[in-house]
């Protein structure tokens, strides 16, 4: 069952705003995922198996080891961008 109502619409819009935000894609992805996890915890959006798989796929790109404060790029950024778009499409079913 799809989550409905103003809070669910706002959570989807907030996630999608992170996709369009200026800044580094990996930083934006971390913020988008944090907002999404908050929406799941609050019951605003429903966690689906597809979203769980995509978030699991995204985690390595966001958690890649590197120097503290270093910006991740290349494959991590491209993977994050690709998976975030898929999550955005799947949110209509969440």
**Closest alpha carbon to 90 in 6, 12, 25:** 12
Query: What does the pLDDT read at residue 73?
Result: 55
> Is the predicted pLDDT of residue 65 greater than 60, yes or no?
no
Query: What does the pLDDT read at residue 74?
Result: 66
> Is the predicted pLDDT of residue 79 greater than 60, yes or no?
yes
pLDDT above 90 as % of the chain = 59
Q: What is the mean pLDDT of the chain?
A: 85
Overall average pLDDT of the 57-64 stretch: 81
Query: What does the pLDDT read at residue 67?
Result: 43
Q: Give tens-digit pLDDT for 26-47.
A: 889 999 999 999 999 999 999 9
Q: Are 55 and 61 in contact (CB under 8 A)?
A: no
Domain locations in the chain as residue ranges: 6-93
Q: Are 28 and 18 in contact (CB under 8 A)?
A: yes
Per-residue CA distances from 33 to 42, 45, 68 (Å)? 14, 13, 20
């Amino acid at each position: 069952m799809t989550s409905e109502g103003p809070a669910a619409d706002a959570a989807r819009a907030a996630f999608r705003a992170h996709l369009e935000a200026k800044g580094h894609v990996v930083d934006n992805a971390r913020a988008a995922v944090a907002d999404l996890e908050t929406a799941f915890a609050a019951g605003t959006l429903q966690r689906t198996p597809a979203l769980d798989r995509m978030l699991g796929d995204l985690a390595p790109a966001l958690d890649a080891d590197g120097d503290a404060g270093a910006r991740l790029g290349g494959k991590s950024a491209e993977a994050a961008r690709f998976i975030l778009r898929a999550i955005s499409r799947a949110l209509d079913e969440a």
